[in-house]
Amino acid sequence: MNTLTSTWRRGPLASRWVRAGLVFAVLYALPYSTLRIPGVFDGPLDAPGVLQLLAVCLVFAGLAMSYDLLFGHTGVMSFGHGMFVTGGMYATTILVDHAGFGLWTSAAIGLAVALAAAVVLGAVALRVEGIGFAMVTLAFGQAVAILVVSGSPQLTGGEQGETLDAGAVPAVLSGVRNTANLYWIALAYLAVCALVVWGLAASMPGRVMRALRENERRVEVLGLNPYLFKLLAFVVAGVLAAGGGVVYLLLLGGATPTVSDSNFTLSLLVMAVLGGTGRRWGAMIGGVLYGYAGQSLTRVSGSSAVAGLPGVLRGPLEQPLFLLGAAFVLVVFFAPGGLTGRFGGRMRREEA
């Protein structure tokens, strides 16, 4: 059935928003909980270390949703999505540290710059399709990475990154005692990503984007311009990613060049595929699991159990990325549609 005219039978749209609201309400209440989950977290849910980990997971979930808007909903694969995260993170840091602007003013300017950059870069890159588009975005992303590391080390801190001026950070966001506030900012960012992505998916442009994913030629036959809808997805995804860069900056306390590396964009792709591309909760779940696995597998790789293994096994297992890659291969093999596709039974891709 044509994606532009199809309707889903999973119940009223309002009920899906109610369920989403309940999920976010539970997430909002976590910093008030003293619940312990042995083997999953090192302390109660309200412990600063646990909240910091959960905040990172929420940011990754939002970033994965921004990437899935391109890849899962529109069928456009970008290898340079991390450059927008880099832009939001470094623009804010540089304006605060070297221009003397306030934190929120710097963040707003950073988002405005990301918006302009997304429009310009998208207008250029989308002139080509398929692998050509992927290569163009990769080139843009690598250029940003080189600029961050080698272009102006006095501004960006080079390979060491740039620490955010602590004096510019509001008191309510400083110190271990205020980790819950950072967690809520990360949750608010995820909520914004969900509202934008889900709202766009339920709109006419969102239905056209999904039609592009399935059959671009059919969209052209209907008299619509695929270029404009792809550009819209590219710009929205870029601005959301830049916002994630600002929140990630607050969690880390400084800008890091690792987000500019192409591997970071590949990580976003892994998150989307892990949860299930184009599905309502897919990228979000994939981002949370990836963020948690990145921390927990580091503990596993450095555990005494791994250290006691023979050298032929100990070597690979001491590398967290090896464990993460192996886990991802298993998920792709046993759940090719992602976790939401495998365990969602007959759930279809949510179009609205």
For the segment 233-250, what is each residue's pLDDT rounded down to a tens digit? 999 999 999 999 999 999
> Is position 7 within any domain?
no
Residue 2 resides in a domain: no
What percentage of the chain reaches a pLDDT higher than 70? 87
Is residue 253 domain-resident? yes
- What number of other Cβ atoms are within 10 A of residue 235's Cβ? 21
Q: How far is CA 330 from the centre of its chain?
A: 22
Q: Is 352 within the bounds of a domain?
A: no
CA distance linking residue 142 with residue 175, whole number of Å: 34
3-state helix, strand, coil in the chain (%, to 5): 75, 0, 25
Phi-psi category of residue 37: left, alpha or beta, with phi > 0 → left and psi -120 to 50 → alpha = beta
Q: How many domains does the chain have?
A: 1
| Residue 344, pLDDT score | 58
The tokens for 86 are 């880099």
Residue 204 lies in a domain: yes
Asked if 101 and 95 touch (Cβ cutoff 8 Å), the reply is: yes
Q: What is the pLDDT of residue 349?
A: 45
Got the DSSP string for 150-211?
II-HHHH-GGG-EE--GGGS-GGGSSGGGHHHHHHHHHHHHHHHHHHHHHHHTSHHHHHHHH
pLDDT of 336? 76
Give the global pTM.
0.89
If pLDDT is split at 50, 70 and 90, which confidence band does 318 have?
low
Q: Is residue 255 classed as helix, strand or coil in its secondary structure?
A: strand
- What CATH number should be reported for the domain holding residue 189? 1.10.3470
> What local confidence, expressed as pLDDT, does residue 9 receive?
42
Question: Is residue 351 domain-resident?
Answer: no
Between 141 and 302, the more confident residue is 141
At 129-138, the pLDDT tens digits run: 889 999 999 9
User: Which percentage of the chain shows pLDDT scores above 90?
Assistant: 61
Residue 214 above 70 pLDDT?
yes
Task: Give the residue numbers spanning the domain of 129.
Answer: 13-343
Is position 123 within any domain? yes
Task: Classify residue 198: in a domain, yes or no.
Answer: yes
- pLDDT beyond 60 at 2: no
